[in-house]
Structure 1
């Protein structure tokens, strides 16, 4: 008779990072259960596919009596004062409770660790690194806080290096350390360091403190920094780093650069290393920011002699990106509808710029949900003056109220009032009016971009279904 499987229970399972760690524990032989009160694509589809059963809502009875490990997410709803499941976990099972970065640190012990950090580009660049290593037969382990298209799973356990998406957000409601400070990497790839998460880090100096700590630890381990010197904050960290380092950029001088870019359905560029042309690279990804990500992947993998250029080029040509990062949602409609991850100003701008570059002659309509604290904090109002530049029409959705009492929250009316000062056509929508968004669309002359890190309270799927029903192929 086989031994009983150890049991792990996840509270807040529907986070992209939490679901990825849950899969790793499945691979390690754990029986995994979980709970959450938000269940929407793409994570809901992923959880169903990997056979994880979700208990809707938080109840003390969700926790198995013989549980071996409890993983609790970082969310305003996951506090013992208002969540009976969390309260029971911390009261009766405290020695079995961990945050997911603590679990990742345990799973990656004794491995070479490559951590991708920054305020944007982390998920895409991490998945690129993992995909190229897999495609080249290097058998990595990986953790991606999103749903990649080239993989069956957003995490995996191999025998090679462990590639992480390293988040600067606090680890848990009881642990203020940035998640990436648990990982002790040997290589850090720094994509950017623009001010984000204003509810946690009210100033840029506050925001940079965990990055300073990350790089201090890296230097203590004689580790290597690979940084995008095309972003001013990342360049400052690069210039100050006293250890081994490699730079990359698009449109600026660096060790690794992308030159002679041709944007189209398939884009291409010449990869250059310290002035020497390495070769031509092709990609189906949209936007200059993704060419920058590919250049960063080259700096890490080719600069670290982890793969050969031909292996790199072949893998990138077959790399399809990740969910919610400028992926087309309407395969069965002639109206192109894309989804971008609009959790910060820089992410929103990169998605808008990419669509304007690839659809130069089309009218751009944006659906925007200010889901993150970075967008629904009063200090963010000034960003609405320029973030939608290039859009012909903007549809705004109400910000969520979860955690509103923890910061200076603004209302939909306030966001709308600020946005109409700068753009001619700004409207709002809700569950009763969402069909009007596409009522007068021109499928031959319009392109639609959905920007959020949430689900518009479930309306996202309905908007896509409406597009396919109204403008079928």
Structure 2
């Protein structure tokens, strides 16, 4: 049995690849700083051993491969386990190697029909929905999802079917390899949701950001398929570079695939249309117009490829529960809906805001926001605060995250709050995270709704505020 050791195994991508290798028959070990459910549960259930903390003793000579994650702490200069891994590679026979997890996926996808989902937003939801619909129809696909999903046994699986669904990330593969991750995945089909400028710490200009997407499309074979969002100008422009089959999707009849007769609610129904013809009626519990767009994208790709019938698609969509942290209701036992939205970019934040207004009309909307990603903390993004919170009745803003602050022009909390206030939105700074629950809890009234908007943890408020709402305002 081959053996692989993962340094940084608790990361979502790293743990997913570890699970894939385990299903392929490898013996897996790993290390990281801090293990938490559900990832720790996934690893334990798969029989994967893991050590808490990085130590050179975690490296064993009998390993066949060492996989190192892309994390600022995972560099040989400051991490003794990483240094030991590269020394291990240098001193042992050929064939034993140090790799990144995209390197592993490169090998696992060499002989499968690969669907790569790429874009600035919507990737996790679309990837999970594709995998779920195929799985629900008994196709047993392989899948790699970069977030924690609802209803799945885990966020990765090596299936017996020939299709492999992968969440494709434009971010660099490793600390020693700037190749975008998704360029390693042998795409036969690509679902391109968007290409709005993101990851400004890696791609300072929009043109630099678009470069890996152009390369991804260039990897498609002549008999491949590109499904592209016709409503996002940058993605649509990129699709012109592909000479093979391209299908468009969107929210209007300008696209080939689009929704019609949408009836929004906690359960939403709509007709899936193709060129003016109704294909099927779909029902979903996902919230927001952006999720209708995601489902249309999934339907367009699966039906164009002939992987599912319209009936199988409808059954899969109706039973799909979504992805954790993506418009997830955290207070089911309260009259005050507290939802978490993934606020890593402007587009994601706006989609979450619009979903709250759409599904909870007439309620006072309180937003708790943490500027966690470089996209929100960089001075070049200050103008984004002019309208991102339009429609909110009150916004609480946390201190910007500090990781990597010295590597770019970091905004201050005061600058962000002032900019939001200048846009006419009632905004306050949360200067003491330990007091946040009391401050926000005192502002809650029956009939309110709350959106927690972050890609971080809000100092634990993600758990404590929903519990407070359920206790003070029980359903």
TM range (shorter): over 0.9
Residues 243-273 of structure 1: CA deviation (Å, up to 9, x unaligned): 2111111124111111121101111111111
- Please say if 1:75 is aligned against 2:103: no
* CA pair 279-191 structure 1, distance change in 2 beyond 3 A: same
Residue 278 of structure 2: aligned partner: 277
For residues 436 and 327 of structure 2, what CA distance do their matches in structure 1 show? 21
Give runs of aligned pairs for residues 235-314 of structure 1, distance below 5 A. 235-314=236-315
For residues 10 and 347 of structure 1, what CA distance do their matches in structure 2 show? 31
CA contact (8 A) 1:230 1:252 kept: no
CA contact (8 A) 1:63 1:85 kept: yes
Residue 182 of structure 2: aligned partner: 180
CA contact (8 A) 1:229 1:238 kept: no
* CA pair 51-460 structure 1, distance change in 2 beyond 3 A: farther
* CA pair 389-242 structure 1, distance change in 2 beyond 3 A: same
| SS of 2:467 mapped into structure 1 | helix
- Please say if 1:28 is aligned against 2:21: no
- Please say if 1:463 is aligned against 2:448: no
CA contact (8 A) 2:367 2:396 kept: yes
Quote the offset at 1:307 in angstroms. 0.7
| SS of 1:13 mapped into structure 2 | coil
* CA pair 399-102 structure 1, distance change in 2 beyond 3 A: same
For residues 439 and 35 of structure 2, what CA distance do their matches in structure 1 show? 24
Residues 419-473 of structure 1: CA deviation (Å, up to 9, x unaligned): 2322223231433212224323445311111111122344433333333344344
| SS of 1:245 mapped into structure 2 | strand
Quote the offset at 1:44 in angstroms. 5.0
Residues 355-375 of structure 1: CA deviation (Å, up to 9, x unaligned): 110001111111111111111
* CA pair 464-279 structure 1, distance change in 2 beyond 3 A: same
Quote the offset at 1:48 in angstroms. 5.5
Give the CA RMSD over aligned residues. Answer: 2.0
Quote the offset at 1:40 in angstroms. 4.9
Q: Which moved more, 1:302-311 or 1:415-424?
A: 415-424
Q: Which moved more, 1:201-210 or 1:441-450?
A: 441-450
For residues 444 and 215 of structure 2, what CA distance do their matches in structure 1 show? 51
Q: Which moved more, 1:405-414 or 1:311-320?
A: 405-414
Residues 61-98 of structure 1: CA deviation (Å, up to 9, x unaligned): 33344322221111222222222222221232365211
Residue 86 of structure 2: aligned partner: 90
For residues 116 and 224 of structure 1, what CA distance do their matches in structure 2 show? 12
TM-score by length of 2: 0.93
* CA pair 379-252 structure 1, distance change in 2 beyond 3 A: farther
- Please say if 1:408 is aligned against 2:409: yes
Quote the offset at 1:47 in angstroms. 4.6
Residue 343 of structure 1: aligned partner: 344
* CA pair 46-414 structure 1, distance change in 2 beyond 3 A: farther
* CA pair 33-443 structure 1, distance change in 2 beyond 3 A: farther
Q: Which moved more, 1:57-66 or 1:257-266?
A: 57-66
- The alignment of Structure 1 onto Structure 2 pairs a total of residues equal to 468
* CA pair 42-404 structure 1, distance change in 2 beyond 3 A: farther
Out of 1, 8, 11, the residue aligned to residue 7 of structure 2 is 11
TM-score by length of 1: 0.94
Quote the offset at 1:416 in angstroms. 2.5
CA contact (8 A) 2:325 2:340 kept: yes
| SS of 1:384 mapped into structure 2 | helix
Residue 103 of structure 1: aligned partner: 104
Quote the offset at 1:45 in angstroms. 5.5
Give runs of aligned pairs for residues 227-242 of structure 1, distance below 5 A. 227-242=228-243
CA contact (8 A) 2:253 2:275 kept: no
Q: Which moved more, 1:228-237 or 1:7-16?
A: 7-16
CA contact (8 A) 1:257 1:273 kept: yes
Residues 102-153 of structure 1: CA deviation (Å, up to 9, x unaligned): 1112122211111011010011001111111111111211110011112111
Quote the offset at 1:281 in angstroms. 1.1
Residue 367 of structure 2: aligned partner: 366
CA contact (8 A) 1:395 1:429 kept: no
For residues 43 and 455 of structure 2, what CA distance do their matches in structure 1 show? 18
| SS of 2:304 mapped into structure 1 | coil
CA contact (8 A) 2:5 2:63 kept: yes
* CA pair 469-57 structure 1, distance change in 2 beyond 3 A: farther
Q: Which moved more, 1:153-162 or 1:172-181?
A: 153-162
Residue 169 of structure 1: aligned partner: 171
Q: Which moved more, 1:120-129 or 1:32-41?
A: 32-41
Residue 122 of structure 1: aligned partner: 123
CA contact (8 A) 2:135 2:141 kept: yes
| Structure 2 unaligned residues grouped into runs of 5+ | 91-95
| Structure 1 unaligned residues grouped into runs of 5+ | none
| SS of 1:433 mapped into structure 2 | helix
| SS of 1:312 mapped into structure 2 | helix
For residues 461 and 54 of structure 1, what CA distance do their matches in structure 2 show? 26
* CA pair 98-294 structure 1, distance change in 2 beyond 3 A: same
Q: Which moved more, 1:138-147 or 1:49-58?
A: 49-58
